């Protein structure tokens, strides 16, 4: 980024300065929503192309956003940036349009000459929800809500009111300073009213302008002819020309206004027929765009004019076999939900005008479009005499015409597709699982489930019983694993009662989560028989028997655990049709052309589901790949989907995003830790172990140090032996972190460390959610390499605190981190920052290496988990599998059951008192665990 584009904010200047190295290909400003709902401008590097387009902000716009988010929106709304905004990331045009809606509403409601004006009412709940549904992917989109959009409107109104009071010329002057055209908006109003006394000319037209205000403070409307007379009397057309500027603009794009202005009929009331009235109503968007206020009868809404629509109902009756015989499809024509009889339909189709008086109401009719839409749906019904399957029904309900021709998409505007009684009840059960009492999840697991987890199991049960492929997308820490285990236990009970002999469930997980799934199964559902198809758990002989005859060997198994890394070479997985196939951390298949993804999609299963804790709508191509696995065909082909979401027309793209969200809604369950309904049910702190592997380089070094210790122990004794053991343990811990830490090399290559791989995977999800993280290491020399790596992951720099950080700098770093849009991560050495810091902006704590003293780790964790923390804190403890780290962790976990001589007086694990044989066995390398994929 050129130096002259640096914003005024010192914090952002520092961010940009740190992002300048050549490894960062691009730097862009983005609008982000924080977990608290704050809106702000942030800097991102190496952006995903699906989220943004080329181009960055001019310095004036960045400076406005630095003042406040609302100040930035006000600047965006000005026509000065109209031609540039389209090239910026999609959220900028979205918020620009929202701000312009506010100013348009302001100018329509009040004249700039009015000195006192009340608040401009924000969009109602339904409108705000529609606006949210059409929002483009953006950072933290899941934290944007209808109520937050309404608050933003009020913030715009408060800002404008304050700025207008401070301006010498009041509101008019302020608007003019922002955009020369705005102070003219709202001065001219064109009125259309019904004239029921004249059937030949049932409409009346009149033009007015605002001049001053009445005693109650509302604008005073005068006939536009008065302004014409005043101009003639004063022999000065300047004021009239200025007043008519919006009309002149409208005339350039609207033939009706051009004729009215040219003929001067604009200045006299007119009696209009149906054709003239319809032309006026159809021209409303162009007139309003030019700055003219339009007043029409309440029955007309320019964005949703009253019109007859083909009424389509899907699934009124329960199908005999779900997804086989299909859902019934009924077709008719209705107005405002009221069905028309044959005579009324004939009247509409025979009418010559585009406005027709029916049942005492004027409605818009496009006979050709209505006829085409009716024919389209009648043909569709004939093609599906045996019914429509659920997947197609969802696409029809959502209006997401993925893969359809453009004219077919237009036809959908003349149709209203609704679920029938049975389908409505089914969708209601998917939307509100808490209403179900069909099952009792707590009866099959040894756990007390929280209310939202019970709801989740109900939802999973109902969806999978219907055969739907779904996505459990709860926030990290809400217990997705427990919910899935409960589902499998319920299915086992159901299988026993129905004598179902289907194959077991297949669960595909990252290697780092394999141990966690084993522990969770053993803890919560010990009655389930689990086979771990992995050489770190099962013997070579067991694996060979399963590969040879999986049907026989797995006959009594309830679930099989495998890792992503082994899918491609495990041909035996494709010999069975699995009862249920589950992908944990399903973003692993986000690349549809990857060999691993293709292999996974080729495994046969009766039903499929995915689990992910990251927002799935922010990367649309990833979304397609996930649903291509769990509900193939729902989102069409990759090419069709890409065309569908890549429309260059902003309005059409917004409509398509809204229909896409409606389409996938029944298939996705996502609850967030910030949801007020969930917060009271959350534990204050959740600890989880993250199992990490070793790279080849780490294995080589680990073995070498082990061999050196074995040789040295033959002659070492007493204090020398104790020092030798302590030094070796420290070296092994360094190797588990990164080879460069042990070798004292300046370069830390990420791919050389298993922990770096897990750190990147974990922090990608944290970054997606706009959350913050503290990373602790006991090695001061580890902190800067971690910071450099995390800068790549987050796309912006974070903070580092070590023993070298001065007391004054510590306070500054803490304040910077505590800002809502401050640095996303804080790397801290345990000794330097384990106490005395208040970092409640973080809701994740990562112990990159272990202190081996639980009390010290807890003290460090409490930097985030303390008074002022309003969210659940997730503590991730990294442990390298098959090494001394895993055995130390097991010791700490079972401290109350082991001999006290394994811990010293401070509570730290004490290994120096072990015999040589005990020590060597304890720190030995289990290669199958450490290097398995």
Whole-number average pLDDT of the chain:
85
Parse the chain into domains and list their residue ranges: 3-182, 186-295, 309-427, 432-681, 685-930
Q: 907 Cβ partners below 8 Å, 6+ apart?
A: 853, 854, 855
The arithmetic mean of pLDDT across residues 67-87, rounded, is: 87
Question: 411, 376 in Cβ contact below 8 A?
Answer: yes
Q: 859 Cβ partners below 8 Å, 6+ apart?
A: 834, 835
CA distance 240 to 229: 10
Looking at residue 758, its pLDDT comes to: 95
CA distance 164 to 153: 16
The one-character DSSP state at 23 is T
Looking at residue 871, its pLDDT comes to: 73
Helix (H) or strand (E) run with residue 57 in it: none
- The pLDDT tens digits of the residues spanning 206-250 come to 999 887 656 555 667 889 998 888 888 877 788 888 889 889 999
- The pLDDT tens digits of the residues spanning 456-470 come to 999 999 999 888 999
- The pLDDT tens digits of the residues spanning 772-806 come to 999 999 999 999 999 999 999 998 999 999 989 88
Extract the tokens encoding 334. 């209705």
- The pLDDT tens digits of the residues spanning 89-110 come to 889 999 999 998 898 888 766 6
- Considering the domain 685-930, what is its CATH architecture? 3-Layer(aba) Sandwich (3.40)
Three-state SS string over 160-193 comes to: HHHHHHHCCCHHHHHHHHHCCCHHHCCCEEEEEE
User: Coil, strand, or helix at residue 65?
Assistant: helix
- Considering the domain 432-681, what is its CATH architecture? 3-Layer(aba) Sandwich (3.40)
Half-sphere exposure of 774 (CA within 13 A, CB side): 29
Looking at residue 143, its pLDDT comes to: 92
- The pLDDT tens digits of the residues spanning 107-147 come to 766 655 555 667 889 999 999 999 999 999 998 999 999 99
The arithmetic mean of pLDDT across residues 616-636, rounded, is: 89
User: Coil, strand, or helix at residue 801?
Assistant: strand
Looking at residue 437, its pLDDT comes to: 74
The overall pTM is greater than 0.75: yes
pLDDT of residue 264 exceeding 90 = yes
Helix (H) or strand (E) run with residue 210 in it: strand 203-213
Half-sphere exposure of 592 (CA within 13 A, CB side): 18
- Residues shown for the chain: 933
Strands 773-777 and 844-847: parallel
- The pLDDT tens digits of the residues spanning 439-459 come to 899 999 999 999 999 999 999
User: Coil, strand, or helix at residue 609?
Assistant: strand
* CATH topology identical between 432-681 and 685-930: yes
Question: 380, 275 in Cβ contact below 8 A?
Answer: no
Confidence band, pLDDT 50/70/90 cuts, at residue 896: very low
pLDDT of residue 416 exceeding 80 = yes
């Amino acid at each position: 980024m050129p130096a002259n584009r640096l914003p005024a904010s010192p914090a952002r200047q520092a961010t940009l300065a740190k992002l300048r190295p050549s490894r960062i290909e691009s730097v862009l400003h983005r609008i982000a929503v924080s977990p608290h709902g704050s809106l702000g401008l942030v800097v991102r590097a190496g952006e995903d192309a699906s989220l943004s387009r080329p181009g960055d902000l001019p310095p004036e716009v960045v400076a406005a956003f630095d003042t406040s988010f609302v100040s930035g929106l006000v600047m965006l709304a000005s026509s000065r940036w109209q031609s540039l905004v389209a090239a910026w990331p999609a959220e900028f045009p979205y918020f620009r349009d929202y701000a312009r809606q506010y100013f348009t509403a302001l100018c329509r409601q009040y004249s700039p000459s009015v000195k006192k004006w009340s608040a401009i009412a924000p969009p109602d709940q339904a409108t705000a929800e529609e606006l949210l549904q059409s929002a483009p992917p953006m950072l933290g989109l899941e934290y944007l809500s209808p109520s937050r959009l309404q608050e933003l409107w009020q913030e715009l109104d408060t800002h404008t009111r304050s700025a207008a009071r401070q301006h010498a010329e009041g509101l008019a002057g302020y608007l003019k300073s922002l955009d020369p055209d705005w102070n003219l908006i709202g001065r001219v109003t064109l009125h259309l009213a019904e004239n029921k006394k004249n059937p030949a000319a049932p409409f009346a037209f009149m033009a007015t302008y605002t001049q001053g205000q009445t005693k109650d403070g509302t604008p005073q409307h005068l006939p536009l002819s008065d302004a014409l007379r005043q101009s003639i009397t004063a022999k000065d057309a300047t004021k009239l020309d200025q007043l008519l500027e919006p009309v002149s603009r409208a005339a350039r794009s609207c033939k009706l206004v051009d004729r009215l202005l040219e003929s001067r009929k604009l200045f006299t009331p007119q009696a209009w027929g149906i054709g003239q009235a319809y032309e006026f109503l159809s021209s409303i968007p162009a007139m309003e765009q030019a700055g003219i206020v339009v007043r029409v009868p309440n029955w007309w809404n320019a964005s949703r004019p009253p019109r007859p629509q083909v009424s389509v109902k899907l699934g009124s009756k329960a199908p005999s076999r779900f997804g086989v015989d299909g859902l019934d499809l009924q077709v008719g024509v209705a107005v405002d939900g009221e069905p028309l009889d044959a005579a009324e339909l004939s009247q509409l189709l025979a009418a010559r005008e585009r406005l027709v008086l029916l049942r005492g109401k004027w409605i818009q009719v496009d006979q050709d479009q209505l006829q085409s839409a009716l024919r389209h749906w009648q043909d569709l019904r004939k093609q599906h005499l045996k019914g429509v399957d659920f997947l197609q029904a969802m696409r029809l309900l959502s209006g997401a015409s993925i893969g359809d021709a453009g004219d077919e998409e237009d036809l959908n505007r003349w149709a209203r597709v609704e679920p029938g009684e049975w389908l409505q009840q089914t969708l209601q059960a998917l939307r509100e699982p808490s209403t179900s009492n069909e099952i009792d999840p707590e009866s099959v697991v040894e756990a007390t489930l929280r209310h939202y987890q019970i709801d989740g199991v109900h939802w999973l049960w109902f969806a999978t019983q219907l055969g739907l492929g779904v996505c459990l997308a709860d926030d990290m820490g809400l217990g997705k694993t427990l919910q899935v285990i409960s589902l499998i236990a319920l299915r086992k009970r159901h299988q026993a009662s129905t004598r179902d002999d289907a194959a077991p469930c297949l669960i595909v997980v990252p290697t780092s989560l394999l141990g966690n799934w084993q522990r969770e199964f053993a803890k919560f559902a010990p009655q389930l028989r689990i086979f771990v198809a992995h050489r770190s758990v099962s013997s070579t002989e067991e694996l060979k028997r399963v590969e040879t005859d999986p049907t026989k060997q797995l006959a009594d198994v309830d679930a099989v655990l495998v890792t992503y890394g082994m899918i491609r070479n495990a041909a035996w997985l494709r010999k069975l049709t699995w009862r249920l196939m589950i992908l944990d951390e399903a973003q692993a298949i986000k690349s549809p052309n990857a060999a691993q993804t293709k292999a996974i999609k080729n495994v046969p299963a009766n039903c499929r589901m995915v689990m992910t804790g990251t927002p799935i709508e922010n990367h649309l191509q990833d979304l397609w790949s996930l649903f291509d696995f769990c509900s193939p065909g729902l989102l069409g082909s990759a090419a069709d989907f890409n065309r569908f979401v890549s429309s260059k027309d902003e309005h059409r793209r917004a409509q398509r995003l809204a229909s896409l969200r409606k389409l996938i809604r029944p298939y996705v369950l996502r609850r967030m830790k910030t949801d007020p309904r969930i917060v009271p049910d959350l534990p204050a702190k959740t600890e989880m172990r993250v199992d990490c592997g070793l790279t080849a380089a780490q294995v080589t070094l680990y073995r070498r140090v082990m061999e050196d210790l074995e040789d040295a122990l033959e002659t070492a004794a007493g204090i020398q032996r104790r020092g030798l053991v302590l030094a070796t343990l420290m070296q092994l811990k360094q190797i588990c972190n990164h080879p460069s830490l042990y070798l004292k090399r300046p370069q830390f290559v990420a791919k050389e460390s298993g922990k770096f791989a897990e750190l990147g995977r974990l922090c990608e999800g944290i970054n997606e959610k706009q959350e913050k993280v503290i990373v602790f290491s006991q090695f001061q020399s580890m902190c800067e390499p971690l910071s450099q790596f995390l800068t790549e992951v987050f796309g912006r720099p974070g903070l580092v605190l070590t023993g070298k950080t001065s007391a004054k700098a510590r306070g500054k770093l803490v304040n910077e981190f505590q800002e809502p849009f401050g640095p996303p991560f804080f790397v801290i050495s345990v000794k330097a920052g384990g106490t005395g810091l208040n970092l409640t902006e973080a809701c994740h704590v990562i112990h990159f290496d272990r202190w081996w003293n639980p009390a010290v780790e807890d003290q460090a964790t409490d930097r985030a988990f303390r008074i002022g923390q309003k969210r659940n804190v997730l503590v991730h403890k990294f442990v390298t599998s098959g090494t001394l780290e895993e055995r130390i962790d097991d010791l700490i976990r079972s401290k109350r059951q082991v001999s006290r001589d394994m811990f010293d007086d401070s509570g730290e694990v004490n290994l120096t008192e072990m015999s040589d044989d005990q020590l060597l066995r304890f720190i030995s390398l289990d290669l199958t665990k450490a290097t398995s994929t």
